[in-house]
Amino acid sequence: MTKIRRAILSVSDKRGLVDFARGLARHGVEILSTGGTARALNEAGIETVAISDHTGAPEILDGRVKTLHPKIHGGLLGRDTDDHRAQMAANQIEPIDLVAVNLYPFEATVAKPDVSFEDAIEKIDIGGPSMLRSAAKNHERVTVVVDPDDYDAILAEMDAGGGAVSDATRTKLATKVFVRTAAYDGAIAAYLTSLEADGSRAELPGTLTVQFERELVLRYGENPHQTAAFYRDGASPLPRSGNRPTLAGAEVLQGKALSYNNILDLDAAMAACIGFEGPTAVVVKHTNP
């Protein structure tokens, strides 16, 4: 396990940021930061190093270019090998062991009915996904954090591991990054393909990319020799779709693992039940009540 000595914190969602940074500082981690994140940390009394001071290059183009630099991506992508260490030393690149980044709020911005094209474009993050992908690719050495809900678990591992995070956790966090960046790029594509030639916005996008999370591995598929799983909309943590309940997130209380046909029957029973106002029970066989 690699001890974390240097970290980049650059976040739009600042939930838990200060406590996380304090935990890193407690382990002697040098914190590199940018913009509003650096201001928030400095106001909390946490010492940071500006990215521009670390790279020796100023932020330019209204902040569009600040982390796209060899000292950042070399520090993230360098492996713990003799060859990479020699190249990094020759180019005065220091390793960066942790990156905590969450992206410009593109989805929330384009969800506003009156959003302008210019505002939407400015919320397309470039440096954030680049750092996340570099760190996630090199997760054999780098811990990458895209979700503030993971801060506490990371600090707990560092406390237990002398400032290091386990291989399994780094792999899990890297996987989470690629799920997030795929969804982010999908949202950008959906917005851009919804724009008409006259500048208006269609109700439905020209390209729709969706993500589903595996909820259950099913006993078998439509036929006994087939495999199957039950997935739910990854963007919807609650087991509802509009005003209609769904099976996503339902708890299996007893019995054998569910099959594909069990899911069909359950959905049919639920669809029949919700047509009544009072408490109702439905028994189904092959989706027929």
Q: Indicate the angle between helix axes 151-160 and 17-26, nearest 10 degrees.
A: 10
Last residue of a domain, one of 160, 192, 224: 192
In a domain, residue 68? The reply is: yes
* Catalytic entry in 225, 256, 285, 286: 286
Q: Is residue 205 situated within a structural domain?
A: no
Q: pLDDT below 50 — which residues of the chain?
A: 236-241
Q: Give residue 134's domain range.
A: 6-192
User: Are 114 and 220 in the same domain?
Assistant: no
Pair 214, 227: CB distance under 8 Å: no
The Cα 241–Cα 59 span in angstroms is: 44
**Which pLDDT does position 113 carry in this prediction?**
87
Residue 283 lies in a domain: no
Q: Which of 43, 51, 47 is nearest to 71 (CA)?
A: 51
Residue 179 and residue 237 share a domain: no
Do 220 and 187 belong together in one domain?
no
Select which of 14, 84, 137, 176 is catalytic. 137
DSSP H helices in the chain: 17-26, 35-43, 51-55, 70-77, 82-90, 106-110, 117-122, 127-137, 151-160, 167-192, 260-273
Closest CA to 20 of 155, 132, 112: 155
- Interaxial angle between packed helices 35-43 and 17-26, expressed in degrees from 0 to 180 and rounded to the nearest 10: 70
Report the pLDDT value the prediction gives residue 23, as an integer from 0 to 100: 94
Residues 183 and 226 in one domain: no
137 part of the active site: yes
Q: Mind listing the pLDDT tens digit for each residue in 237-254?
A: 334 445 567 888 788 899
- Residue 243 has a pLDDT of 59
Q: Is 2 helix (H, G, I), strand (E, B) or coil?
A: coil
Closest CA to 134 of 91, 78, 88, 73: 73
H or E stretch covering 215? strand 212-217
**Is residue 172 a contact partner of residue 143, using CB atoms and an 8 Å limit?**
no
User: 266 and 144 in one domain?
Assistant: no
Q: Is 230 in the same domain as 94?
A: no
Query: Where do the H-state alpha helices sit in 58-110?
Result: 70-77, 82-90, 106-110
Q: How many domains does the chain have?
A: 2
Q: Do 28 and 47 contact (CB within 8 A), yes or no?
A: no
Q: What pLDDT is stored for residue 58 in this prediction?
A: 84
Residue 200 lies in a domain: no
Q: Verify that 179 and 264 share a domain, yes or no.
A: no
pLDDT for res 234: 66
112 and 184 inside one domain: yes
pLDDT at site 9 = 95
Is residue 225 annotated as a catalytic residue, yes or no? Answer: no
